[in-house]
Structure 1
Amino acid sequence: MKKINDLVSKVERPIRVMQYGEGNFLRGFILDIIDRANEKGVYNGNVAVIKPIGFGNLDFFKAQDNLYTLSLRGKQNGTIVDENRVITSIGQTIDAYNEYEVYAKLAALDTLEVVVSNTTEAGITYDAKDAFELTPPGTYPGKLTKFLYDRFTHFKGDPAKGLIILPVELIEHNGTKLKECIIKYIELWHLGEDFKAWVLSHNTFCNTLVDRIVTGYPRETADKMFETLGYRDDLLDVGEPFGLWVIESEKDIRDKFPMDQTGMDVVFTDNLKPYRDRKVRILNGAHTGTVLAAYLAGQDIVRDCMADTLIRSYMENLLGEIIPTVALPRDEVIAFKDAVIERFENPFIDHSVLAISLNSVSKWKARIMPSFKDSIEQIGKLPQYMTFSFAALMAFYSSSDLQGEALVGKRGEESYKIMDDKNILEFFAQNYSSEDVKTFVNKFASNEAFWGENLAEYEGFVSTVSHYLENIYKNGMRNALLSLSEEA
């Protein structure tokens, strides 16, 4: 079978972006956006992709002239999307360890304007043992500090040669934290006040939020997809059509990075928080608030939950309580909610409900509790469906069977593993009671180590959760959901 580069030619463009990381997400989202900008004629730039870790290789990239296929599959605006596009936006791939000199020369590249990174959540870290003399330094912030110093030195501190820095690691305030690490390295390595001033004044560190599911190489269906494509592609990457990139910066960077003109949802803002709240409260909140009830009601896959009218109705009512708590225009929030529902319906992704159930206590605190508290403040009473989701969480965790690192629950005759922090699992193993439900609920709700406050102090919360939980124990989850809809 032919290879992708037997049929498609590499496109030469100036290198304007350097990207730390060659993984599925960056290829399935960031490089896609840049590729579309090139295609639309609003940008003319390729990316130098840097492999920032010492193990692995870039053999597939070299063999395919850095070309690869992105397959976007899912549901969008009411229609099924199954799109295959060849991405031509990689100009170079460089191993920072085995090709250090090639990598280091990029610091002197006049056309370079932007740095993107995805080095995992643990990548933005400071290690006082890291050394400037290493080629390259071990940490990502260490690598970037040395790279910026080389650029500062080569261009003699030219203010125009600062870079736009866009980390997409999934941590809050990713740009701010990266900048803080770099300043620490400047001080640790005694790189000088002039360099520090150049970094702070002439480089733009942006906080970002990204949202697209990228599942990567489709091992089980790759050969079939190659037949459809008419060529072999060892870098084939699969993702959903939905994509959101929110970029928060103190100054307008769209003249150098006009990705909002691609037709994709790229938002430039001076305040990321409402967009993060929207994602956490609606997308993540819908997951956390629904999947535990859905599992106990008999569903295993998110897509099947959306086809189950009882569970879908519950989720939509839950979202109906959450939406008013998001501080963005209502039409924007509704549109995002509609897109989330379509993402959950994706016919190409089997998203396991049990996989989402991991660490649900901390997830409820982070994803549901802020909306729960804001809703009470807005309407002056308990939000019914969010309160029920707390009872569903307790029902899912209801077991005294602690085996190793997991609590073992029962769904009918089936066993399932409950995975969470040890202290949480031990709490349920020691306190679970289907007889004295109100005491059980009160102990859980009032545990400030779990919630950061005493939830039992919210008027009617313990009695309402107890009512819901008793119904689940007595009549099963499906009947409890039916009763909930009748009470609404």
Structure 2
Amino acid sequence: MGNFHRAHQAAYIDDLLEHGSDMRWGIVGAGVLPGERPGWQKLRDQDWLTTVVEQDVEHIDARVTGAMVDFLAPGDAAAIVERLCDPSIAIVSLTITEGGYFRDASGAFAADHPAVLGDAARPESPATVFGIMLAGLRRRRSAGIAPFTVVSCDNIPHNGHVTASALKGLAGVRDPDLAAWIEDNVACPDGMVDRITPRTSDEQVLLLRERFGIEDNWPVFCEPFRQWVLEDHFPLGRPALEEVGVEFVADVAPYESMKIRILNGGHAALAYPAALLGHRFVHDAMGDPLIRSFLDKLEREEIIPTVGLIPGTDMSAYFRSVARRFGNPAIADTIQRLCFDGSNRQPKFILPVARDRLRATGRARGLALVSALWCRYCQGSMETGGRVEANDPQWDRLRETADAARARPGAWLDMSDIYGDLGQSEAFAADFREELRHIWDHGTASALSRFASAGD
């Protein structure tokens, strides 16, 4: 029930309720992790209402949304499973970040993950979101209740397929019959979601109070732009979301590729050079000619060529719109947010593009530079002075490996759970070594300038 869900899926459902043509739907929140309890308490104290504030340079608008009708206490898996067995629950949506799907470096379900093995050993006391859903599905099957549809709202290519693989993979560890039933009966449509939504700051809470007179414990500030593209596969029915701007298409994959590679890949590429050069906000980074030139060339020459065609869509124009959104100072999106969890985000947004570029051209120099900048950041020292705060679930390991990579760059690419076969590519490894050494010898600004001017 974090900021993105409340600014995106919940806002669409609220729009539909305001529209008045499909009043059957509402949202029951469910927090899997005990750490989500502070947010639950804030929303409980205001009857699950959320103020959504849309903001750009020339526009600010606030609306109180009320699509959420309940929010089950985070960490109470038994209560969530019980609610999942309610026949009125037709759709379960997931906003659990890219790292929540238990995937290995090849993209396959990681059946040997400790959390997966724990849920497989104790299926009646699940601790993961997939274990909880499986418990609900198992009980619905036993009671003769049709299974709910599962909709991933995370930035993962083919997220419906990935979600189904996780459900079937966990079920198959202990109960192959349940895995086969899921294969035949549980719908997991693909979807693409898009709205830049940073964390809420204390300053924003104060702004909302002073500008609009609204007291909100946990408002959401976001850009006006939003997009949701969905495969139309909902056996138990769905909200009439097409009435409020959701696009239903036969094949979501081209839209996923466009957004994940150009927008999320752009965020993942600019995050670490911006941090190393001391930028706090994304719009400040976009105003830095070095970073902007680096990003423009990287997108134009290495990222956009890997994106498939969408009839009627100009990819260069799409990137220009993304760049304008990145440069929106009213959002105050932080570089720290973009840097968070690189061990999950880089394998989703950067490394698959590098593999495609290597297959197509034999080189991926700019993307190797992105990896080198990430490595340099994880070493933990800023070029502007000071230390980098821990910013990844694997921070201790990343920092130790980045230290080793200063003398032996290959140590970074040896993290096979992150790089997979990409770390064995001689062309990628050679570019990575050269870029990392240049960063250490001459600095981030020099590395960006050298890449941006190459070939001019």
Q: Which residue of 2 aligns with 1:165?
A: 150
Q: 1:454 to 1:467 in 2, by over 3 A?
A: closer
Identity of aligned residues (%): 22
Alpha-carbon distance in structure 2 between the residues aligned to 1:145 and 1:456 = 39
Shift of 1:349: 4.0
Q: Which residue of 2 aligns with 1:333?
A: 315
- For 1:245, give the aligned amino acid: W
Note the alpha carbon deviations across 1:82-103, whole angstroms, 9 max, x for none: 2212213234455595995996
- Which residue of the other structure, out of 1, 5, 10, is the alignment partner of 1:31? 10
1:409 is paired with a residue whose SS is: coil
- For 1:478, give the aligned amino acid: A
- Which residue of the other structure, out of 83, 86, 89, is the alignment partner of 2:61? 83
- For 2:189, give the aligned amino acid: C
Q: Is the 8 A contact 2:229 2:252 kept in 1?
A: no
2:316 is paired with a residue whose SS is: helix
2:328 is paired with a residue whose SS is: coil
Q: How many residues align?
A: 427
Alpha-carbon distance in structure 1 between the residues aligned to 2:179 and 2:371 = 49
Q: 1:217 to 1:46 in 2, by over 3 A?
A: farther
Give the superposed CA RMSD.
Answer: 4.5
1:204 is paired with a residue whose SS is: coil
The correspondence of residues 358-397 of structure 1 with structure 2, limited to 5 A, is 366-378=348-360, 380=361, 382-383=363-364, 385-389=366-370, 392-393=373-374, 396=376
- Which residue of the other structure, out of 217, 222, 236, is the alignment partner of 1:239? 222
Q: Which residue of 1 aligns with 2:107?
A: none
Note the alpha carbon deviations across 1:63-122, whole angstroms, 9 max, x for none: 544433211234xxxx6442212213234455595995996597244xx53333446655
Alpha-carbon distance in structure 2 between the residues aligned to 1:352 and 1:261 = 33
Q: Which residue of 1 aligns with 2:272?
A: 292
Q: Which residue of 2 aligns with 1:309?
A: 289
Q: Is the 8 A contact 2:27 2:70 kept in 1?
A: yes
Q: 1:90 to 1:374 in 2, by over 3 A?
A: closer
- For 1:26, give the aligned amino acid: H
- Which residue of the other structure, out of 355, 375, 381, is the alignment partner of 1:409? 381
Q: Is the 8 A contact 1:69 1:236 kept in 2?
A: yes
The structure, 1 or 2, with the larger RCO (C-alpha pairs under 8 Å, 6+ apart) is 2
- For 2:62, give the aligned amino acid: N
More strand by share: 1
1:257 is paired with a residue whose SS is: coil
Shift of 1:318: 0.8
- Which residue of the other structure, out of 415, 421, 426, is the alignment partner of 1:452? 421
Q: 1:31 to 1:288 in 2, by over 3 A?
A: closer
More helix by share: 2
Q: Which residue of 2 aligns with 1:487?
A: 454
Q: 1:198 to 1:38 in 2, by over 3 A?
A: farther
Shift of 1:244: 3.7
Does residue 116 (structure 1) correspond to residue 55 (structure 2)? The answer is no
- For 1:386, give the aligned amino acid: L
Return 5+ residue gaps in structure 2 as ranges.
103-114
Alpha-carbon distance in structure 2 between the residues aligned to 1:104 and 1:384 = 50
1:35 is paired with a residue whose SS is: helix
Does residue 478 (structure 1) correspond to residue 452 (structure 2)? The answer is no
Q: Which residue of 2 aligns with 1:68?
A: 50
- Which residue of the other structure, out of 385, 389, 403, is the alignment partner of 1:429? 403
Q: Is the 8 A contact 2:29 2:71 kept in 1?
A: yes
Q: Which residue of 2 aligns with 1:107?
A: 86
Q: 1:302 to 1:276 in 2, by over 3 A?
A: same
Q: Is the 8 A contact 2:272 2:374 kept in 1?
A: yes
